[in-house]
Structure 1
Amino acid sequence: MKASTAAPVGQEAIQAKGWLRAHRFLILRRLSQAVFLALFLLGPWFGLWWVTGTLAGSRSFGVLPLTDPLVALQSLVAGHWPAATALIGAGIVLVTYALIGGRVYCSWVCPINPVTDAAHWLHDRLGLHKGWQPKRQTRLWLLGAVLAVSALTGTIAWETVNPITMLHRGLVFGMGFAWALVGLVFVFDLLVARRGWCGHLCPVGAFYGLLGQRSLLRVSAARRAACDDCMDCFAVCPENRVIAPALRGKDGDTPLILSPDCTNCGRCIDVCSVDVFAFTHRFDTHVEDPSPPRPRTAADQAA
């Protein structure tokens, strides 16, 4: 085993770049999630109604409507034509995530993400086995089931059990059953399936993954020739199967991570001590050549 592989995950990056730079995108994601959550809580908690509603549907400053397009789609298949403002709001959100990457929602906005990340952290600290790993397509089947149930019942079915919505309602009106539901997600990821909820089951993540298939924002392994095989990027990536095609690609293969399952969380960028990864756009396919060998000096020859 290489020394770099045996070292704790991210340790090399901390030594090479410093703790702050080795955690910058993680910190920014937590701030982003906290800000989005705080905007919704300012009204009921402090009377500052800048944003009303939840992530399912909201209005900002009394003007800008935003609607979760999955909620709008459930409403349509249930036979209920949404109001014009709801359709406009869904269109705004749909275009935004289609451009920047659908599953950016999962890593930068969704309040359940810190819960599942905490479960994964504890899972690793306890040295537990990865457990049951549902197939990738499971969340797509669940997404189809959500739409089918909505059509059959004439309701926006998923919102009755959506942990995201339940967490929002719980923080505003008192947690009650919401605590139990969020706790079940945590326990599921901790004891049943490592990264099971977001990575394999959540129909919201499946929907946003489909939405962002042609998105502009991408992570690139443009400096893949510098990779020292420490494996830290695979250890921290919530969807680590998306890394290999870009990182291990042959000459002529794109260095871009093009899988819609990528959440653009930036952790691979954080933990890479040799800066293999970077954010870019989907048309940036350049691959940097390996650094030329350092010329041998007289001191080297003497040694």
Structure 2
Amino acid sequence: MTRSMGKITLARRIVQVVMLGLFCLPPLLAGWGLAGLYAGGDGEVATPAEGVFFGSLSSSAAAGIPLLDPLAALEVLASGYGLAAVGLAGAALVVVAYGLVRGRAFCGWVCPVNLIGEGVDALRRRLGIAVPERVLDRHVKIAVAAAVVAVSALVGFPVFETVSPIGAVNKGLAFSGFAGAGTLAAIVIAELFVSRRVWCRSLCPLGGLFQVLGRAGQMNVHINHDACVHCGRCEEACLADPVILAPALSGDDVIVRAGDCMACGACVDTCPARALSFSLGRLPARAQTRREERDPVAES
């Protein structure tokens, strides 16, 4: 079955592609080629790092402002290398920005591995390959994130950064850094033949860290219970894990509260009754509202 692309998904796809291109611009503007190749002559040229923006999704700088992947920062600190105040500030800035919006909005709107995962989803449907919806609990990736930090402390270097599939795409295109290519290939194979979105849903340590931050996010999927027809299309479309929609669909909540929500908008786009939309703020759960209506007098 061919699926039409909704407005939010189209906007998200544009952002994903723009983000990939953004990291490729510095070497191109400096006269270099992609994948770390230099295509110029013998004359002196600027290095890519001299531009307004430079770096990768692990570590970058925009207009002199450092931006650091918070998991990478934790790995560096745990491994004993130490981190300058400017690095800590860069990691804190990323935490605050994604924490206020939705922690896993990074996964849905920026991460190139999710973009590839969506492509694998489409390929699997075209090939008619059936796989389980899930083989591991979505909370496993939180434990994986903790293990990554612990192992980094034991071995004395940031372990995930050496095998990160995010780096295989991001750093590979710009700098020819394909250290995580093997991990990325394994993810594609697992997505095709083992389980849907198994890496992003259950194993990615960065996703686990952002899942924890996601509980404080102010951008939430809101449900209009009167409009919902319980067709199940939102659960089918969910990129994170359909189980996170259960409290809202059952009537116990008015928003998708789980930190795992990527704010990707796939469920909003696919809803035929327009019962789902984005809203700002952590609204009280519907069950809590009902209790307050029954007992409006608060204890002093």
Q: Indicate the structure whose relative CO is greater, using CA pairs within 8 Å and at least 6 residues apart.
A: 1
| SS of match in other structure, 2:226 | helix
Structure-2 separation of matches of 1:192 and 1:84: 43
How far, CA to CA, are the matches of 2:255 and 2:211 in structure 1?
16
2:53 equivalent in structure 1 = 51
Query: Structure 1 residue 258: deviation in Å?
Result: 0.3
1:264 corresponds to? 263
Within the candidate set 139, 142, 148, 1:140 is matched to 142
Q: CA–CA distance in 2 between the matches of 1:241 and 1:177? A: 34
Return the TM-score normalized by structure 2.
0.82
1:39 aligned to 22, 30, 40, which one?
22
Moved more, 42-51 or 212-221: 42-51
Instruction: Write the distance in 2 (CA, Å) between the matches of 1:150 and 1:179.
Output: 20
| 1:236 equivalent in alignment to 2:270 | no
* Deviations 1:236-288, CA, capped at 9 Å, x for gaps: 10211111211221xxx32111000111100111011211111112344598x
- How many residue pairs get aligned? The number is 265
CA separation of 1:103 and 1:64: change in aligned 2, threshold 3 A: same
1:217 to 212, 216, 219: 219
Measure, in 2, the Cα distance between the counterparts of 1:174 and 1:56: 15
Q: Secondary structure at the match of 2:6?
A: helix
Q: Which residue number corresponds to residue 88 of structure 1?
A: 89
> Cα distance, 1:120 vs. partner?
1.5
For 1:168, the equivalent position in structure 2 comes to 170
In structure 1, distance between residues paired with 2:234 and 2:66? 38
Cα distance in 1 for partners of 2:178, 2:77 equals 30
Contact 1:42 1:50 in 2 (8 A): no
Percentage identity across paired residues of the two chains:
34
Instruction: Tell me which residue corresponds to 2:254.
Output: 255
Q: Deviations over 1:105-157 (max 9, x none)?
A: 00011011111111112223333232461222321221121011101011111
- 1:105 alignment counterpart: 106
Instruction: Return the letter of the residue paired with 1:278.
Output: S
Please provide the CA RMSD for this pair.
2.0
- Aligned ranges for residues 1-80 of structure 1 at < 5 Å? 23-47=6-30, 49-61=51-63, 63-80=64-81
Q: CA deviation at 1:179?
A: 4.4
Q: Which amino acid aligns with 2:21?
A: A
| Partner residue in 2 for 1:276 | 275
| Displacement after TM superposition at 1:67 (Å) | 0.7
Contact kept, 8 Å, 1:98 with 1:214, in 2: the verdict is yes
Say if 1:39 and 1:50, in contact at 8 Å, map to a contact too: no
Q: State the Cα distance separating 1:94 from its structure 2 match.
A: 0.8
The 10-residue stretch of structure 1 (265-274 or 78-87) with the greater mean CA deviation from structure 2: 78-87
Q: Distance in 1 between matches of 2:228 and 2:179?
A: 47
Secondary structure, aligned partner of 1:79: coil
Equivalents in 2 of 1:29, 1:117: separation in Å?
Answer: 12
Q: Which is further off, 182-191 or 132-141? A: 132-141
Match of 1:208 in 2: 210
The one-letter code matched in structure 2 to 1:39 is: L
| 1:129–1:76 Cα change, 3 Å | same
Amino acid at match of 1:31: I
Contact 1:237-1:267 at 8 Å conserved across structures: yes
CA contact (8 A) 1:209 1:260 kept: yes
Do the aligned residues in 1 keep the contact of 2:219 with 2:280 (CA within 8 Å)?
A: yes
Is the contact between residue 77 and residue 151 of structure 1 (CA under 8 Å) also seen in structure 2?
A: yes
1:177-192 paired onto structure 2 within 5 Å: 178-192=180-194
Alignment partners' CA distance in 1, 2:107 and 2:186: 18
